[in-house]
Amino acid sequence: MSNQPIGIFDSGIGGLTVATQVRKYCPGEEIIYFGDTARVPYGTKSARIVCQFSYQNTRFLLQFRPKLVVIACHTASCLATDYLKQEFPSLVLVDVLKPSVEKALNHTRSGRIGVIGTTATINSKRYQMSLESANNSIRVYATACPLFVPLVEEGWIDNQVSREIASIYLRPLKQKKVDTVILACTHYPLLRKVIAGVLGDGVRLIDPSEEVAAQVAAHLRRGAANRSSVGRGRLRLYFSDCSPRLKKVVRLFLGQTKVTIKELKPDFLPEVFNV
């Protein structure tokens, strides 16, 4: 098992923030990344469809015999994790929700925690319920920030437009005097500078990609499943659709100039699926 890869899937390219952190924490591991760019975004879709797509994504990754699979998508983590654990009981699944919640609870001083994410993530109330059920004195203030994703993919991660939009979205959290904010979307870490500038120095930002990577590394150490090879492991990228600008955006997320990606044939998904 030690030489088997780590599988990661996301609704699109945002999960590359998670893949980047996993590579940082587990530099020798081979990573198979799948981004469902043909059907992005998941944040506006129903729970049933998110479960269906997540099931199909996991099935695709299983052909590589991964030692574990990371659900990098926050919407899928909120809506499909329980379903995937039921369908794949022997597979180790790591979602982005649990480690983010634990980190936020450990770092808040006032008990006032903010959560920002896609509309579906916020409407699922999974973050809110997880935080409040862990400590009934916690107060959670959640805000959907749907325009953050297109801003990042346009490369507008620190300009007048991004700052103005962030100021509008984050105003309610400032008014509630939160001291900790979970970035509950894989795109949002790229807007960290803008978000921090709006919220101020006294607010701790929780980047789930870092927390997930730390959890993956700890799991591998506990199970003695670390890859035995020396050197940097490969990152293999698969996408369900390769638009003309995909490479440009992928390079933005990975911070590198040379990227090789593979587009999947349209029929890669299982034909039959029932929720």
List the Cα angle 183/132/212 in 5-degree steps.
Answer: 40
Catalytic residue among 26, 51, 78, 185: 185
Catalytic residue among 26, 73, 78, 242: 73
Kindly state the DSSP code that residue 104 receives in the 8-state scheme: H
The structure tokens listed for 151 are 């801003």
C-alpha torsion angle, residues 38, 155, 42, 99 (rounded to 10): 130
Helix (H) or strand (E) holding 113: strand 112-117
Active site residue 51: no
For 254, left (φ over 0), alpha (ψ -120 to 50), or beta?
Answer: alpha
Instruction: Report whether the peptide linkage leading into residue 41 is cis, meaning its omega lies within 30 degrees of zero.
Output: yes
Distances (CA, A) of 193 to 190, 200, 237: 8, 10, 27
Rounded Cα gap, residues 188 and 157, in angstroms: 9
168: Cβ–Cβ under 8 A, 6 or more apart, which residues? Answer: none
Percent helix, percent strand, percent coil in the chain, to nearest 5? 45, 15, 35
How deeply is 118 buried, as exposed, middle or buried, from its count of CB atoms within 10 A (0-12, 13-18, 19+)? buried
The structure tokens listed for 183 are 């970035």
Active site residue 185: yes
List, by residue number, the catalytic residues. Answer: 73, 185
